Chain A
């Protein structure tokens, strides 16, 4: 593989991912508005929002907050690049976790009741989804013969038929990461239930824009992980259908549910999510799947 292609693919991913992510956010807002009987903003509203935020006067409560805003975006972009380059899935997840961790750390670095509460609740979300995401890498690697994402392409068969248990668990985990109801413990993705948005209460202006762009990358990365389940063969386009379909179902779930308590979320994630992946690993090891 030439160096040109190496750099080229990374650059394309870095440019395309936020465009797709922003657009999905716009469609999300539009569809949600329709479900709630509103007209909703134009589909490219998220881009307008970010451009406007970038032009605002910067305001922070401390240097740490600013550092973690940069860190959040930079690390998630790194995770995207590692993903596109076919690197080890666990390593991609670890970089993503470090990025995601910047958000609660930024929130906790301000002495503010709302952002403290949001930061701690974000950590509880972390506790709920991190084990599921990490565990989900195992059955994928067992099937594909290794952890590098490149192996999944070389494997030559779709993963979903054998790994549908893992897929369901990942779906739960991603709903938590994306802060969709009923798992929007630290702050909801849409500000549809609250005026003060937990973990990002203290962010404003350009720093909020950085976080918003980071979220676009994050969403595309997570949906791409779901897409990995059917990425090869003549029906490779099913991966896009699967990713977008999951996203759409998540959106409906978000709209028909209310937020639940963190202890319920934790029990559900560890109880249902972890059990599903564990069963999947067990079945593979027993040769049943």
Chain B
């Protein structure tokens, strides 16, 4: 059973990807993608229903050779594209760093694998390790990821038609696009199940490859530059992986098994602290934490399904997944405290930077980095409560942020702009889409949606860690305030409109846009209401398997979430919100005679227009705009401090580890 499920989760999408590569017909390719989605969703649910976790599995040793060879093939490909770029566009920081870091990741690993290791390929038992945490990730990848891939069938069609219309594109490049999307899904499933660090590093490399290829998909100069930036920054993580593998093998533990490292822990073996920190570094680069945030922002040039799949709900999650996974190994060390402070700093910095952004996708990108920072913070606090909260945020953030990116993509394909200012008043033009988007934003922002419940949990968990909690809490609370501002501001732009007579006309229902969005918003709401069941069903057993005490994190009674120091009654608040906001918004309607023009000192031209009488009786169009506080909070102003702060924090982290 388990081997066929693994095959369906990892190999099926990869094979489907290769099939897509050869299909020029849009409908046929769409069917393959759709079929893959069905297979992935089904097999992930079967994973959940497997009775006894953890499950250990080791495939035939030949697979070790396949992984080993393919790993170097991918590294060679990175070298090839960097050298090609060097030949075509001349020397640049990006291609030089790509070459240097590929060599730095590949050569030590090759020397280790072929001359130092007792066997080639190096085996550990088990190769794959499946527990609740990896199944949670598998569910996120398989369900949300598949839905995004299905959405992309329609999105890419519109996207290419638009680009062909503009004359930017002559021939379809969709086979390549779906090839990378699907093999990415397979690789992610492999990544979360891998226990052998060489396997983990290989799947990690595949996701880097897919990330690079999908960012440069549109082949514009800016896309190529940003793809290389993402590549070399993620390769820093690969260097971390290679070094961690070598250090771990040469440590007294003499292993490259992830579970063995976690079970031993750095408290018992202080020498493990450095490889653990290197693995965390790999996680931080993948999760685009400051100072590596620029790759994720640059990645926003990619088509929006890529941003939804790789850059918000799955690939960047692999980074925080790794940190959460190895959190038990650094429990009780200084590293843990530093990681908490670091995560808090990232959360605050990105929330402030997001206020100044006027491009919708960049706001989403900053918010993603911030929420991943919050998960890192939870891993750093490292109590049972904090880890429970971290896993919850992993789930809820993936749903809400994936959804928001898809909303942004659908809106973009109606107004052909990503600028928030161009979204002024679209609530009247696209009422359904805007309604879903606003609810999705609320699900990131207000009680009692899942993301806010985790924020509550993080605050309560952070209050219990002694002296350093002060700093962590200040970062957390200030970041929370800034988060409110950038979301509310954006919602305000959607809604800002002059009175329209009669009922707003609904836009046509597009199944692959609206349907998918509705499924995801349904997940976000239902799982938030049933958060107690989610906790009992998957998170509590996951905590126990990781060696935490699930009972000291949360208990549930009457579907309330109860910690030892607090209580969150989620569903009563939902009922009240439904009564207070949903019923008036669906049932009531301002009668035509009740609607009036806005106040303009009595100088309105006439009702129904947004003009006013200005100097010399001239009719002037009213213009409104959002607040961005560029002069104070703009990237140009703040990045001077942000990147050095990130670098200094990481340097402190490593200096402390080495000491």
Chain A positions within 8 Å of B, measured between CB atoms, are: 57-64, 66-67, 70-71, 73-75, 78, 82, 87-88, 90-91, 94-95, 97-98, 101, 104-105, 107-116, 119-120, 123-124, 126-128, 130-131, 134-135, 137-138, 141-142, 145-148, 196, 201-202, 263, 270, 274, 278, 281-282, 285-286
Contacts and interface: CB of A to CB of B under 8 A. Distances in A.
Nearest to B464: A142
Nearest to A95: B447
B482 A127 contact: yes
Contacts of A90: 456, 459-460, 566
A130 B487 CA distance: 15
B567 A88 contact: yes
Interface residues of B, number: 67
B489 interface: yes
Given A105-B495, A109-B495, A64 B463 contact: no
A110 B493 CA distance: 10
6 contacts: A58-B590, A61-B597, A126-B484, A134-B481, A137-B459, A147-B567
A222 to B, nearest CB: 17
Given A111-B610, A126-B485, A135-B477, A58 B594 contact: yes
B589 interface: yes
Interface of B: 424-425, 427, 445-448, 452, 456, 459-460, 463, 466-467, 469-470, 473-474, 477-478, 480-482, 484-485, 488-489, 491-493, 495-500, 564-569, 573, 576-577, 579-581, 584-585, 588-590, 594-601, 610, 622, 624, 626-627, 632
Given A61-B499, A70-B580, A90-B459, 8 more contacts: A59-B594, A61-B598, A75-B580, A97-B446, A108-B493, A108-B496, A202-B599, A278-B473
Nearest to B575: A78
A74 B584 CA distance: 11
A111 B447 contact: no
Contacts of B565: 141, 145-147
A91 B589 contact: no
Nearest to A106: B495
Majority secondary structure of chain A interface residues (helix, strand, loop or mixed): helix
A71 B442 CA distance: 13
Contacts of B478: 131, 270, 274
Nearest 9 pairs of A and B residues by beta carbon: A108-B492, A112-B598, A74-B580, A109-B495, A94-B447, A147-B566, A130-B481, A131-B477, A146-B565
Nearest to A144: B565
Contact of A91 (B445, B493, B567, B585): B567
B596 A61 contact: yes
B584 A70 contact: yes
A128 B596 CA distance: 33
Given A138-B463, A270-B478, A62 B624 contact: no
Contacts of A123: 484-485, 488-489, 627
A67 B585 contact: yes
Contacts of B576: 74-75, 78
Contact of B499 (A62, A101, A131): A62
